[in-house]
C-alpha cells in the first residue's frame, strides 16, 4: 500500500510521525511525506521521500529563501495570542495552503491512505474532498490546545470552499483513526481521547552514531546529569532565558548539558566551567539515558521524551502547547514550573535542586515511564492503517 504522511508546522509536528512511517516501511509499504519546501531537507535527512508541491491558494505567499530569523525578546505568556495562532494560522492560513497542496499532490502520488498530524487540518479536508481515508497523529500531548470553539469557524469555511458539508462538531478531527504516542494518563481529563484513538509507545529517534566530538558522553563521575533544552523552534524567541538558566544551573554540583539550537552560537555564552557544556544540538536519544533531570520549555516532544525515560522535570513554558503541558506535569507531580519571563538564576537553581533531591518527582515520572513501556510499539499502527485503507470505516479502540 501507499501511505502519504503529512504535517503542518515544524519538527515538532514531523517527529511524532516518524516511528509510524518507519514501521509502515518495515512492513513493506511505500511511504512518502508531503511537506512544504522549507521542511523537505529535514524529511530527506530522516531517510524519507519528500513530495513537495508549490500549489497554494490565490494570494498566498510562496516560500522564498530567507535570512536566519532574528532573535526575539522574551515576552510574558499571551494566552489570547496562543488561541489566535491556532485560529488564524493552523485552522486558517496553513489549513488553506495545506489543502491546496494536498489536492495537487494526491492525484499524482495516489495514496491509499493519508496520515497527518492533528493540526494538519488542510490535509484532512483535502482527503475528504478526494474520498480518501485518513488517520491523524496527536502531537500536542496535553490535548487542550485544539478546541472546537477555536477552529470550527475557519475549518467550516474551508470545508464550504471545497463543497464539503458543515461539520459543527468537528467529527473530521477524529473521523477514522487517531494515534496517540503518549501515556493515556498524561492527557488532560477535560479533553478525553476520542473513540477512534489508539495509544502507542512514543519512540525517541535513534541517532546513527555517537558523535566522537561529544566528550560528555563518556563522563563517569557521580554528579547528576541535567539536560537543558528549549526545543528546536523556540530558542530564538527565548530572549535572555538561556543566560539566566545557565547562570543558575552552572553553580550546581551537576553535569549540565545545554543545547541551544542551530541558530545560536554556543560561544556567545562565554567560557563555562568544566561541568557545563553548551552545544547547538545533541540527539535526545544520546542525552536522555545519561540524564537525571530535564529542564525544558515544556514542548510536547521534550516532555514525552523525558517521561519515556522516567525523568523528572523543571519547566519554563513560553507559548504554544507549553503552558498546558507544564500545568499537566505539575498536576501529575513529575515536575515544577517556572515563570520563564521573570525567573532568576537563583530560583531556577533552587527548583532544580528541589526536584533532584525530592524523590517524589522521580517516582511520579517512573510511573509514567512504566505506563509508556506497557503500550504497544509503533508497529501496532500498521495493521490499523491497513484495515482503514481497505474498509474505509472508523477503527474504534478496544473497550
Residue 295, classed as helix, strand or coil, is: strand
DSSP state of 25: H
Alpha helices in the chain (DSSP H): 11-14, 18-26, 40-45, 79-84, 94-109, 121-130, 148-161, 241-249, 284-287, 300-308, 322-332, 345-357, 359-373, 381-391
What strands, in cross-sheet order, belong to the sheet with 177-180?
A: 50-52, 30-35, 2-6, 113-117, 134-137, 177-180, 197-199
Specify the pLDDT at position 213: 54
Q: Note the Cα 180 to chain centre separation in Å.
A: 12
CB proximity list for 97: less than 8 A, separation 6 or greater: 56, 57, 60, 122
Domain limits of the chain? 2-201+375-391, 215-373
Residue ranges of the chain with pLDDT lower than 50? 56-65
Specify the pLDDT at position 371: 98
DSSP state of 135: E
Asked whether 325 and 319 are in contact (CB, 8 A), the reply is: no
Q: Note the Cα 210 to chain centre separation in Å.
A: 23
Cell of 94: 496553513
Asked whether 362 and 312 are in contact (CB, 8 A), the reply is: yes
Cell of 366: 517512573
Q: pLDDT tens digit string along 163-218?
A: 999 998 999 999 999 999 999 999 999 999 999 999 999 987 666 565 555 555 55
Quickly name the fold that domain 215-373 has.
Answer: Rossmann fold (3.40.50)
The CATH number corresponding to 2-201+375-391 among 3.30.70.141, 3.30.2350.10, 3.40.50.2000, 3.40.50.620 equals 3.40.50.2000
Cell of 326: 507544564
Place of cell 477514522: 176
Of the candidates 134, 175, 100, 166, the residue with the CA atom closest to the CA atom of residue 385: 134
Specify the pLDDT at position 167: 95
Evaluate whether 2-201+375-391 and 215-373 have a shared fold: yes
Specify the pLDDT at position 204: 74
Q: pLDDT tens digit string along 143-168?
A: 999 998 899 999 999 999 999 999 98
Amino acid at each position: 500500500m501507499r501511505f502519504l504522511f503529512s504535517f503542518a508546522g515544524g519538527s515538532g509536528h514531523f517527529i511524532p510521525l516518524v516511528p509510524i512511517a518507519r514501521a509502515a516501511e518495515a512492513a513493506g509499504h511505500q511511504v512518502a511525506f508531503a511537506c512544504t519546501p522549507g521542511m523537505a531537507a529535514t524529511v530527506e535527512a530522516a531517510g524519507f521521500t519528500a513530495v513537495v508541491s508549490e500549489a497554494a491558494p490565490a494570494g498566498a505567499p510562496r516560500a522564498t529563501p530567507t535570512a536566519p530569523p532574528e532573535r526575539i525578546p522574551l515576552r510574558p505568556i499571551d494566552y489570547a495570542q496562543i488561541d489566535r495562532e491556532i485560529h488564524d494560522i493552523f485552522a486558517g492560513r496553513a489549513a488553506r495552503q495545506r489543502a491546496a497542496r494536498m489536492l495537487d499532490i494526491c492525484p499524482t502520488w495516489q495514496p491509499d491512505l493519508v496520515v497527518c498530524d492533528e493540526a494538519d487540518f488542510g490535509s484532512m479536508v483535502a482527503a475528504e474532498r478526494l474520498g480518501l481515508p485518513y488517520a491523524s497523529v496527536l502531537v500536542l500531548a496535553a490535548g487542550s490546545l485544539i478546541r472546537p470553539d477555536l477552529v470550527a469557524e475557519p475549518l467550516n469555511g474551508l470545508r464550504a470552499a471545497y463543497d464539503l458539508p458543515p461539520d459543527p462538531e468537528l467529527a473530521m478531527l477524529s473521523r477514522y483513526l487517531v494515534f496517540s504516542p503518549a501515556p493515556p494518563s498524561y492527557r488532560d481529563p477535560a479533553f478525553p481521547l476520542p473513540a477512534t484513538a489508539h495509544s502507542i509507545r512514543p519512540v525517541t529517534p535513534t541517532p546513527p552514531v555517537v558523535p566522537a566530538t561529544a566528550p560528555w558522553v563518556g563522563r563517569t563521575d557521580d554528579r547528576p546529569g541535567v539536560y537543558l533544552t528549549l526545543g528546536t523552534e523556540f530558542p530564538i524567541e527565548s530572549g535572555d532565558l538561556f543566560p539566566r538558566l545557565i547562570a543558575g544551573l552552572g553553580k550546581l554540583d551537576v553535569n549540565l548539558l545545554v543545547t541551544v539550537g542551530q541558530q545560536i552560537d554556543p560561544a556567545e555564552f562565554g567560557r563555562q566551567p568544566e561541568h557545563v557544556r553548551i552545544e547547538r544540538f545533541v540527539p535526545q536519544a544520546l542525552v536522555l539515558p545519561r540524564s537525571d533531570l530535564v529542564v525544558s520549555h515544556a514542548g510536547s516532544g521534550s516532555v514525552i521524551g523525558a517521561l519515556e525515560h522516567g525523568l523528572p522535570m523543571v519547566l519554563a513554558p513560553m507559548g504554544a502547547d507549553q503552558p498546558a503541558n507544564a500545568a499537566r506535569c505539575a498536576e501529575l507531580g513529575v515536575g515544577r514550573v517556572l515563570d520563564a519571563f521573570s525567573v532568576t538564576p537563583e530560583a531556577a537553581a533552587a527548583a532544580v535542586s528541589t526536584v533532584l533531591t525530592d524523590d517524589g518527582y522521580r517516582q511520579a515520572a517512573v510511573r509514567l515511564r512504566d505506563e509508556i513501556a506497557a503500550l504497544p510499539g509503533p508497529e501496532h499502527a500498521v495493521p490499523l492503517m491497513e484495515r482503514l485503507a481497505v474498509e474505509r470505516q472508523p477503527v474504534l479502540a478496544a473497550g
